[in-house]
Structure 1
């Protein structure tokens, strides 16, 4: 058993920011970070665009950023949360820079501000097209200097520990006491007892297969919280990024940043027609839900496999300076953007819903907090405004840290049993796991994609039930493995997404059902 004051599950911007702040503020306390890959692997690492923050008060204002966020969220944002996050943004960015994160500057020496879809002004701070990677680097360097922080790499959180694991009277209030964690290298399951647990586990993109997320994005935190009876909301609002590079290869899709369209790139069909003005007066700079639905409609009409992003009219030297990674990836796929259009398709990108939290990041379970993409704060509503995600993670990680400093958590003396896998065996048929994973991903893509229908969702429920029964039987009789637990988590996430989609009777933001009469 490991005993720690603060357990952080996940090593993206949300988890690392909280861990750094709480470890420095309370040096006598211990912080344990659990991450299922190496410490650098997270959704944060792949964030190309940047951090949306109001810095130029002459051209921009808090009110404009608030309004842009509310418009993108299509009436479902919490206005108080939006105002709080936007107004706290500049200070949180300065802290990040003080920790060593560097961002692009213009000729005058000021931070260079980009503009992305849905934004009325230039306000996106970026580090070329590798902003997330730079943020992750700075946070990890700061964290490694702190002696009271332990990072457990290649450790997979299986389940949260709550009353149902303990021989205690059940009460109306549920408490979290830590988590059971699989050491992926030894196969041992460790009981991690914690006074406070933070879920910062990222998104769910791998549930769809075609995604801009890394393969670790399997909805683990949301699934664990759901099984622990935490409140989960707005799972129907899966944001599809409009422009993922189209290739025939399997695996995560390479993201062509929103900032490329902000830079002046144009979307065309195979005949060269610029189609976005047909759908929205903002054209390529419309919000992501509009652009994704428009591309989906074009592909359904034409039967084509992709549309195209035309950059041939742009200043290529400037493009290379701003987007070196994108330029190199295109070349690696035999696309010379000086002369060639880039084939693109929408791909699952970001979840706007998740574990419900208040302004202090508290979930409906005592001593359990959530931050980052796995949380549902009320900031995004029905559709996330571009580059608001890193901002949200920075602000909420700070709020959670401040809450812990002012509300110390007592160490828990309760006895926690070790993990019991008596009677189970190592699964020999890994093909069963892979087969069900592919069935699940195809189900979500075909039945629960950008455009949905009541009929497809109802069929999805039936298909998912078959997958669920087979995997649960396998889980009950097998020693746990990462792939089996990830599949189980993705099935939970799919169940939540489908169920909450069926309950939504009007189209809002990123959610579109052809059987709903009320369009946003």
Structure 2
């Protein structure tokens, strides 16, 4: 198929990608590629809300400080100030797009909740399904723009760089992406003067994750292969409270349940254990809560612990958590009377592709925004409800930089089409399934909430063996969505393990029994290809 030419190519159709598209669309032609359906990314799954200083008495300084404390000193203060300062305007724009945020008579009209690590009520939300409402509003706005072409079912394989041109220029410029059309089974080339990675995180590297199925680290792996630095991949956030149910995978019990008074209990005895670990009890930051639950589960040989909010009035619980209440009622759990069985699960990738305040990566023409990136906002641990906020602020920042520097972005040179003349159809899909399962299991066991050097070295050894196998397979067979994802999962797993072995301390989300102390100086882990 002939190359498809646009002004800007955006890979990812969640909050970051669509925000960028909407900011570019008044003057540029934009393609937005989604791996599956447009709403299958992480944005639609975000229950909690968006953090912003909106309550009288709250200050930017306080939100900045809370973010820095959660990030264990590893945040870039300039980034934190930039994002926090732009938060209220981002909320206003979303409200203008029709996001039906909950309202109240105080707080300038907003209904605000509080979550772990925040010193004030500053979470705007749409009941307990904020992400879904945001995704719907952004999609609706994008569909109304003639300049935006929404392309579902496109599995990004690799970035188009200068080496794919007919003459290699050697500057590493990015001109778009090669993507596999799921419906046609053919690889298509999308070209533009600028490319924005908005592909989300890498949660599916782990056995238990709240991330959607497509979160296989694609953008991080593609950027790394193209020549970008990747930073802080050891900081994987584990959400403390994912529903433990063998039939229902990845159902998250939002932070706000603890924020509104939920207690964590040992199932048999009913002992409330969080005060034993931290004076903030259930309102401690996620890493503290996740480690405490992990500790109790391992110490007592449990499958799960209980999260109980049944001591609050039934009407209060139903009004605050309508979706969770309805979902669990269908599974035989009435949260107004019964405790919820929960386990920690991988939840957010704090590291990623290194970007500046304009969303620029190391490669000319390539930008990144949202969970795929490492902007300096989150440091060693993301503060609750700062993630959607990062998507809006950096999606807009990347778009603004492209618009302001449009004349300096050269048009793509002639690009070679994807070549599959020397490969055959695979006759061994079982290899992919086996390797996928193996990666997720050893990453959970060896590179999970609590780590040791020995376990990390074991994981590194497994990754080396599997990499040889997968690269050999990739070189011989036609690409499929599963093969693309497996290759990216393995690359991302390798970056996580390398970063974790490099850090000789415990800080934020990276906790190792071999180096339990935190070093006096906070330094980013930066890997260069």
**Shared fold per TM-score greater than 0.5:** yes
Q: Which runs of 5+ in 1 are unaligned?
A: none
Change (3 A) 1:503 1:205: same
- Report the more deviating stretch, 338-347 or 441-450: 338-347
How far residue 96 of structure 1 moved from its aligned partner, in angstroms, is: 1.1
Match of residue 15 from structure 1? 17
Q: Distance in 2 between matches of 1:322 and 1:106?
A: 13
Q: Distance in 2 between matches of 1:292 and 1:63?
A: 27
Match of residue 461 from structure 1? 460
Match of residue 392 from structure 1? 390
How far residue 511 of structure 1 moved from its aligned partner, in angstroms, is: 0.6
Match of residue 262 from structure 1? 259
Match of residue 331 from structure 2? 333
Q: 8 Å contact 2:32–2:148 — kept in the other structure? A: yes
RMSD: 1.2
Q: Distance in 2 between matches of 1:150 and 1:210?
A: 34
How far residue 164 of structure 1 moved from its aligned partner, in angstroms, is: 2.7
Match of residue 293 from structure 2? 295
Match of residue 242 from structure 2? 244
Cα-to-partner distance string for 1:192-245 (whole Å, 9 max, x where unaligned): 111000000011111103111110111110010011110100000000000000
Give the 5 Å matches for 1:407-446. 407-408=405-406, 409-446=408-445
How far residue 316 of structure 1 moved from its aligned partner, in angstroms, is: 1.7
How far residue 310 of structure 1 moved from its aligned partner, in angstroms, is: 0.9
What TM-score comes out, normalization by structure 2 length? 0.95
Q: Which runs of 5+ in 2 are unaligned?
A: 520-529
| 1:352 and 2:350 are equivalent in the alignment | yes
Q: Distance in 1 between matches of 2:150 and 2:336?
A: 44
Q: 8 Å contact 2:48–2:128 — kept in the other structure? A: yes
Q: Distance in 2 between matches of 1:517 and 1:220?
A: 32
How far residue 170 of structure 1 moved from its aligned partner, in angstroms, is: 4.8
Change (3 A) 1:519 1:306: farther
Q: Distance in 2 between matches of 1:228 and 1:413?
A: 16
Match of residue 197 from structure 1? 195
Q: Distance in 1 between matches of 2:163 and 2:331?
A: 51
What TM-score comes out, normalization by structure 1 length? 0.97
Cα-to-partner distance string for 1:240-285 (whole Å, 9 max, x where unaligned): 00000011237x4100000110011000112111111111111000
Q: Distance in 1 between matches of 2:327 and 2:210?
A: 14
SS in 2 for 1:385: coil
Q: Distance in 2 between matches of 1:110 and 1:144?
A: 29
Q: 8 Å contact 1:448–1:498 — kept in the other structure? A: yes
Match of residue 174 from structure 2? 176
SS in 1 for 2:67: helix
Q: Distance in 2 between matches of 1:272 and 1:517?
A: 30
1:232 to 223, 230, 233: 230
- Report the more deviating stretch, 489-498 or 510-519: 510-519
How far residue 166 of structure 1 moved from its aligned partner, in angstroms, is: 3.0
Cα-to-partner distance string for 1:429-472 (whole Å, 9 max, x where unaligned): 21111111000100100100000100000011111122222211
2:309 to 308, 311, 325: 311
Cα-to-partner distance string for 1:131-153 (whole Å, 9 max, x where unaligned): 00000011011111100111111
Give the 5 Å matches for 1:370-389. 370-389=368-387
Q: 8 Å contact 1:5–1:411 — kept in the other structure? A: no
